[in-house]
Structure 1
Amino acid sequence: MSNSAESLAASGKRARSKAANRRAILSAGRRVFARIGFDATTVRDIIRETDLAAGTFYNYFKSKEEVFEAIAEDSTYRFRTRLSDVRARATTFEDYIQQAYHAYFSFVAAENEEAIRMGAPHMALIGVRVDTPEMLAIADEIRSDLDHVLSASGAPVTDIDYLTAAAIGIAREMGDHMLQRRPVDAVAATKFATALLLGGVREVSGKPL
Structure 2
Amino acid sequence: MTAPAKILPSPTGKRARSKAANRRAILDAGRQVFARIGFEATTVRDIIRETELAAGTFYNYFKSKEEVFEAIAEDSAHRFRAHLSDVRATATDFEAYVYDAFRAYFGFIAAENEEAICNGAPHLALIGVRVDTPEMLAVAEEIRLDLEHVLSRDEGPKLDTAYLTAAAIGIAREMGDHMLTRRPIDVEGATQFAASMLLGGVREITAK
Do they superpose with TM above 0.5? yes
* Equivalent residues in 2 for 1:1-209, closer than 5 Å: 9-123=10-124, 126-206=127-207
- Work out the CA distance in 2 between the residues paired with 1:98 and 1:125: 25
1:125 is displaced (CA, Å) by 6.2
> Which letter does structure 2 place at the counterpart of 1:197?
L
Question: How far 1:32 sits from its partner (Å)?
Answer: 0.2
1:95 and 1:6 map into 2 onto residues whose CA distance is: 50
Equivalent residues of 2:34, 2:126 under 8 A apart: no
Distance 1:178 1:157 in 2: 32
TM-score relative to the length of structure 2: 0.93
Q: Secondary structure at the match of 1:128?
A: coil
Is the alpha carbon distance of 1:85 and 1:135 closer, same or farther for their aligned partners in structure 2, counting shifts above 3 Å?
same
**Residue 42 of structure 2 aligns to which amino acid in structure 1?**
T
- Greater CA drift, 119-128 or 37-46: 119-128
Q: Which amino acid aligns with 2:10?
A: A
- Which letter maps to 1:102? R
1:76–1:134 contact (8 Å) kept in structure 2: yes
- Over aligned residue pairs, what C-alpha RMSD do you find? 1.7
Shift of residue 6, structure 1, vs aligned partner: 9.5
How far off its partner does 1:154 sit? 1.8
Q: When the two structures are superposed, what TM-score results if normalisation uses the length of structure 1? A: 0.92
The one-character-per-residue Cα deviations of 1:167-195 (angstroms, maximum 9, x if unpaired) are 11000000011001110000000000010
Maintained 8 Å contact 1:73/1:127: no
Aligned equivalents of 1:33, 1:166: Cα separation in 2: 27
Query: How far apart, CA to CA, are the structure 2 residues paired with 1:96 and 1:130?
Result: 20
Equivalent residues of 1:29, 1:67 under 8 A apart: yes
Aligned residue for 2:124, secondary structure, equals coil
Compute the displacement of 1:8 (Å).
6.3
After superposing the two structures, state which structure 1 stretch, 98-107 or 151-160, moved more.
151-160
Count of aligned pairs? 203
SS at match of 1:153: coil
* Structure 1 gaps, min length 5: none
Secondary structure in 2 aligned to 1:28? Answer: helix
Please give the alpha-carbon distance, in whole angstroms, between the structure 1 residues aligned to 2:82 and 2:126. 17
Q: Percent of aligned positions with the same letter in both sequences?
A: 74
State the Cα deviation string for residues 55-114 of structure 1 (Å, max 9, x = none).
110000000011001111111111100000100100110000000000010001111111
Secondary structure of the residue aligned to 2:62 is coil
Deviations 1:99-155 (A, max 9, x none): 000001000111111111000111166352252111010000111111111121124
Contact 1:90/1:99 (CA < 8 Å) preserved in 2? yes
Q: Distance in 1 between matches of 2:156 and 2:64?
A: 47
